Amino acid sequence: MKALSIKQPWANAIMCGRKTLEIRTWSTDYRGPLLICASLRPHTNPEYIAPDALAANFLRQLPTHPIGAAIGVCNLIDCRPMTKADERLAMCQWNPPHGRQLYAFVLADVKRIEPYPIRGALGLFEAKVQDRPPHFWEMCKEVTKAMKERLEKQAALCVECGKRGRVVGDLCLDCAGR
């Protein structure tokens, strides 16, 4: 299973649904189930890069544990360039280092799992999950089902023009925009 290491308290912010964008300096074409791993070393001063006082206060109150553990599963549904408007959902400031592009990993269908120790890595990495208890597999099935439904909706048939693609309600984006 693909996995991503994220420093605390941001990993916990994802698990509680407050943070839906994970920001990286690299992009990925991967879409699908993702194991969220809390890095072994938490961030020492997360409120320093929070976008506002409300987010800084929230980050200060989040626990910085567990660390060095897998803590949840979710779907990575998109990866796109970060914009200034993404600060609130990313819980960090839009401040590209040395003019580099930042990328927003869009996370959905987050499910908390019973934490278990895991050795993280940089970038997306392949995590061994074969020895996990039944609860873990139930969460993975829910996340996979949600991704399948999302993909089916994106490839649905427009009732007005008959085109297959992403629909809003029963209409494709072209017909819905008319």
Instruction: Return the ∠ at Cα 122 (arms to 14 and 140), rounded to 5°.
Output: 45
> Which has the higher per-residue pLDDT, 36 or 92?
36
Look up residue 87 and give its amino acid: E
What is the distance between the alpha carbons of residues 91 and 113, in angstroms, rounded to a whole number? Answer: 22
- Higher-pLDDT residue of 92 and 20 is 20
Please report the pLDDT score of residue 14 as a whole number: 92
Q: Which domain holds residue 99?
A: 2-153
- Domain-embedded: residue 45: yes
| Pairing, β 21-24 against β 103-117 | antiparallel
* CATH assignment of the domain containing 22: 2.30.130.30
Number of domains in the chain: 1
Residue 34, domain member (yes or no): yes
CA distance 10 to 62: 9
Q: What is the pLDDT of residues 19-78, one digit of tens each?
A: 999 999 999 999 999 999 999 887 766 655 666 776 776 776 766 778 889 999 999 989
Residue 159 lies in a domain: no
Q: Is the pLDDT reported for residue 1 higher than 80?
A: yes
| Whether residue 171 has pLDDT greater than 70 | yes
Helix, coil or strand: residue 82: coil
Q: 23 lies in a domain? A: yes
Angle at 113 between CA 109 and CA 115, to 5 degrees: 140
Going by C-beta distance under 8 Å and a sequence separation of 6 or more, which residues neighbour residue 77?
31, 106, 107, 108, 147, 150
Mean pLDDT of the chain: 82
- Is 52:103 a contact under the CB 8 Å cutoff? no
The structure tokens 């439904």 sit at 149
Distances (CA, A) of 86 to 18, 58, 92, 120: 13, 17, 9, 26
d(CA 170, CA 148): 18
- Output the pTM of the full model: 0.73
Per-residue pLDDT at 87 exceeds 90: no
